[in-house]
Every structure is written in C-alpha cells, then in structure tokens.
C-alpha cells in the first residue's frame, strides 16, 4: 500500500466570497499536489464569482461520517429550554409590567451606536 | 490549621464540588442526545434482530437495506457517495454521469475548432470562456463518477480508456461536423438549450453530488445559451449570406437536435435508461416529454427570426397539446452512438493524441498516494 505512484489525488476545495464570509465547500478535484490543486481550483470553480480565500484539503485528511455514525446526529425533540422558543411565554409576562421582551432581533441589533 | 486556612480549604472544596457538578451536568446534557440516539438505534436493532446482538448497528441484510434505500428515495432524501445503494442505482448513475461528463469534454472539441476562426476578438473571448466552462463541467462530473466507481477500483484513467475503446459513449450531437460560424451559434443556442432542458430536470435528482454539480453547470449554461443567442441574432440581422448560413446550419442541426433527447422508447435502440432514472428519481420526465418541452420553448423563437424548420410535417395539435414531427433516422442515431458518426473518430483521435502526448506530465508529477 502507498508504494504505487499516482497523478490523481483527491482534493476537497473550500472557498469564501468575501473576507468576512464563512468558508463553503466547492466540490472536489484531482491533482498531483497542493500547488496544482490550488491552480485547478481557481480554474475550475472560481472563473466568475468573487473569491477572497481558498482552502485545499487532501481527502485522506478528512474524517467522514458513515451512515451509522450519522445516526448519532439525531436531536431530541424536547429541547425547548435550549432555544428562545422555550421562553416564548415571557413576552406575555412582560406585557403585565408594560415592558417589551428583549428578543433575538432586538438584542442582535445592539452592536452599533447608542440610539 | 488556623481558621483562615480552614476557610480556604472549605472554599476550595466547595469550588471543586461546584465545578464537578457543573461539568458533570454539562457533559451529561451534551451527551444525552448521543446516548438517546445510540439507545434508540440499538433498541431498534435489537428489535430487528430479535434481541440477540446489540453492538452492531450494521444491517447486513440487503433486502432490508434496499427497502430502507427506496424509502429514502420516496422521501426525497439525498443519497451521498458513501451511502449504501443498490448496484442498479450505482450503475445507472455511473452510465448517466460518465456519459454526461465525457460529453462535456468531447463537446468542447467541436466548439474549440471555432476559437481561431471567431469573427471578432469579443467573440473569440466569449467562445474560449465557453470551451473552458465545458471542460470544467467535464471535470466536475468525472469527479462525481469517480466517487461512484470506488467499489470497482476504477479511476479517471480507466474512464479515459473506456472512452477510447468505445465502451463509454458521448452525446450524439458531438459526433457532428461544424461547417460555419453559424454552427457555433446553433450549438450555443439550441444544443445548449436542449441540454438545459434535461439538466434542469435533474437539479433535484436523488443523488446529492450530481444535483449539486448540476446547480453550478446549469448556472453556467445560461451564459452559454445567451452566448449562442447573441451569435444567432447578430447573424440573422446581418447580410443575406449571414442569414443563409444560419438557415443552412439549422437544416443540418435539426435532426441531431431531435436525436438529442433519445428515442421515445427502448424498442428503437434496444435499451434505454429512462425507466430506471425515473424509478430512482434521478429525473422526472421521459425522452419524449423533454423533446416536447424543447419544441414548446424553441419552435416559436426559431420561427420569429424568419428561419424555416426543415420539417414540412411539423404541426402542433391543440387538443393533445403535442407537437407532431417527422422522426429522425434512428438507424443513423444507432451508428452515431457507436462512434460511427461523421466526426466520431477524428474527435476521439484528438483526445487520444492529447492524452498520450501529455502523459509525461502525469508521469513527472505522480507521487506516492499514501
């Protein structure tokens, strides 16, 4: 094993459109090494759209989940206490005190200047 | 130990207990999902197996797997490369996608013939971009095929050999000659138009990697179709000679375009993938349905440009909402897909030559795969 030489190594390509966006998977390609993979990634997948960065990962370095492992990804259905959904009743309670609930939309709007 | 020291010790112990409790709580909280899922899986497995084993979640029962697989297909779940799949599904995908991928590569060849002969610099840049896109589509699709070939121990080099020895077919339209610049326009406008009809139907294909590749391919095909429209509209608004070469190209391409979608039933050529691809929700429509959609969309446009469709029998029936047309020569089609078309051998030779001529690059850059 491993002694056989090949021109075809499998690389998974990830890229992001802007410096602030998250990396996204962009298909895979065959290349003999990382440098060629990078050139081919640009030629194959980034001919038009803006791109800010590219990651090249040899597939042998990726641990994938098999179908049985994917079974562990199921979520319990009674986890409302983890989400704002489980606290929806607060809105009504706050109304009694003549106050608005500080919901996700409100809280995530707080980053800017004081209004 | 003095009083202060005792207090520190108690405080530290309390801190430890708190940390331990919180950590334990967090860990338990985090793991409960995993535990319950594993428990559910093992219980289900025990029920399956009559409670004899509980460590192995793998069902070795093919029938059971096939049933679960078909349930996933029915539920519009996406099948991934590493998932279990019946051989029939795998083989159907390999045949379909390897042919699609090789057709993209072989399809770039008739078009590349027009790069040096494009009438303006702008046209040259446009058709070069399109040729590059087609090769990119070929690479994307061959990757999808190669992942499906893993259980058979085959790779890209094998696919190339299959193409060269005729086991792997490429699309009938790419066996044809291109005689004038109008052919470049007809290929972009109508051949890519026909391809868009079949490919957009498979955007929701049950096989995830193919559906994702098609997302990108179809987006680029829109550019190709408009590139073709741009060439055709410039020609039909041009001189008499320019108009004439469009009509002449349409006359030659009409029959290959009818053949593009394949025969209506497998009786014509002896085999057809259409039933299997529909069964496994890879596509939703039959060859004839695709052809009718092509007529709906393109016949009015062709006529609006003052072009004549070379079929005097062509008519639309209001009641059945179907187009009636003269069948192409399906015997000629059978020859073409056996690599006996007008340019089959020449284009295969070009590909063989390029593959062999560049083999030193593959040798020089090959590295150990481990």
How many other β-carbons are positioned within 10 Å of the β-carbon of residue A15? 21
Q: Is B139 on the interface with A (CB under 8 A)?
A: yes
Cα-Cα-Cα-Cα dihedral of B160, B166, B170, B173, to 10°?
140
Query: Domains of chain B by range and CATH?
Result: 74-159+175-358 (1.20.1260.10)
Strand A24-31, strand B322-324: pairing = unpaired
Is A27 a member of any domain?
Answer: yes
Is A33 a member of any domain?
Answer: yes
- Which pLDDT score is estimated for B224? 93
Contact across the interface for A76 and B216, Cβ inside 8 Å: no
Query: What rounded mean pLDDT belongs to chain A?
Result: 90
Contact across the interface for B368 and A66, Cβ inside 8 Å: no
The pLDDT tens digits of the residues spanning A58-70 come to 999 999 988 788 8
Share of chain B above pLDDT 70, in %: 82
Is A72 a member of any domain?
Answer: no
Residues A86 and A115 in one domain: yes
* Of B34, B83, B143, Cβ closest to residue A28: B143
pTM: 0.81
Q: Residue B344 has what DSSP assignment?
A: H
- Which pLDDT score is estimated for B49? 40
B38, closest residue in chain A (CA to CA) = A72
Query: What rounded mean pLDDT belongs to chain B?
Result: 87
Q: For chain A, what is the domain count?
A: 2
- Which pLDDT score is estimated for B54? 37
Is A69 a member of any domain?
Answer: no
Residues A23 and A57 in one domain: yes
3-state secondary structure of B247: helix
Contacts of A9 in chain B (CB under 8 A): 367, 369
Share of chain B above pLDDT 90, in %: 76
- CATH number for the domain that contains residue A16: 3.10.20
Distances (CA, A) of A86 to A82, A83, A91, B140, B203: 7, 6, 11, 44, 37
Ranges B152-166, B255-269, B298-312, B350-364: which has the least confidence: B255-269
Which residues, other chains included, contact A70 with Cβ-Cβ below 8 Å and sequence gap of 6+?
A: none
The pLDDT tens digits of the residues spanning B96-138 come to 999 999 999 999 988 888 999 999 999 999 999 999 999 999 9
Report residue B368: phi and psi, to 5°: -65, 135
H helices of B150-286, in order, are 156-164, 181-186, 192-201, 208-236, 240-260, 274-279
Domain that holds residue A101: 78-115
- Which pLDDT score is estimated for A74? 87
Is A70 a member of any domain?
Answer: no
Contacts of A45 in chain B (CB under 8 A): 136, 216
């Amino acid at each position: 094993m491993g002694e056989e030489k090949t021109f075809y190594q499998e690389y998974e390509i990830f890229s992001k459109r802007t410096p602030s966006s998250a990396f996204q998977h962009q298909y895979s390609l065959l290349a003999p090494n990382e440098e060629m993979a990078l050139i081919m990634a640009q030629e194959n997948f980034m001919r038009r759209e803006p791109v800010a960065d590219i990651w090249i990962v040899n597939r042998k370095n990726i641990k994938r989940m098999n179908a049985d492992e994917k079974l562990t990804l199921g979520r319990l259905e009674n986890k409302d206490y983890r989400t704002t959904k489980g606290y929806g009743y607060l809105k009504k309670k706050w109304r009694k005190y003549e106050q608005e609930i500080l919901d996700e939309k409100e809280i995530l709007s707080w980053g800017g200047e004081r209004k | 130990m003095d009083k202060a020291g005792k207090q520190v010790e108690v405080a530290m112990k309390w801190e430890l207990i708190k940390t331990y409790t919180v950590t334990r709580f967090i860990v338990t909280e985090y793991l409960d999902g995993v535990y319950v899922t594993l428990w559910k899986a093992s219980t289900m497995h025990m029920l399956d197996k009559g409670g004899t084993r509980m460590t192995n979640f793998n069902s070795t029962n093919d029938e059971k797997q096939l049933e679960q697989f078909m349930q996933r297909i029915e539920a519009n779940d996406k099948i991934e490369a590493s998932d279990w799949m019946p051989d029939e599904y795998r083989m159907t995908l390999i045949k379909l996608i390897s042919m699609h991928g090789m057709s993209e590569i072989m399809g770039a060849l008739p078009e590349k013939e027009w790069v040096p002969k494009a009438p303006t610099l702008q046209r040259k840049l446009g058709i070069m971009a399109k040729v590059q896109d087609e090769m990119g589509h070929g690479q994307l699709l061959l990757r999808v095929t190669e992942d499906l070939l893993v259980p058979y121990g085959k790779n890209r080099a094998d696919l190339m050999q299959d193409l060269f020895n005729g086991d792997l077919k490429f699309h009938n339209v790419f066996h044809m000659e291109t005689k004038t610049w109008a052919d470049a326009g007809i290929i972009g406008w109508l051949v890519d138009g026909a391809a868009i009809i079949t490919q957009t139907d498979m955007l929701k294909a049950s096989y995830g990697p193919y559906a994702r590749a098609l997302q990108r391919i179809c987006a680029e095909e829109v550019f190709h179709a408009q590139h073709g429209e741009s060439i055709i509209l410039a020609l039909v608004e041009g001189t008499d000679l320019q108009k004439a070469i469009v009509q002449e190209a349409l006359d030659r391409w009409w029959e290959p375009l009818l053949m593009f979608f394949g025969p209506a039933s497998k009786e014509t050529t002896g085999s057809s993938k259409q039933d299997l691809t529909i069964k496994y929700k890879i596509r939703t429509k039959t060859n004839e349905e695709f052809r009718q959609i092509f007529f709906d969309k393109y016949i009015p446009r062709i006529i609006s440009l003052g072009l004549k469709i070379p079929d005097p029998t062509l008519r639309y029936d209001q009641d059945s909402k179907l187009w009636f047309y003269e069948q192409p020569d399906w015997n000629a089609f059978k020859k073409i897909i056996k690599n006996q078309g007008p340019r089959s051998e020449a284009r295969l030779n070009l590909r063989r030559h390029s593959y062999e001529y560049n083999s030193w690059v593959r040798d020089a850059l090959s590295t150990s795969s481990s």
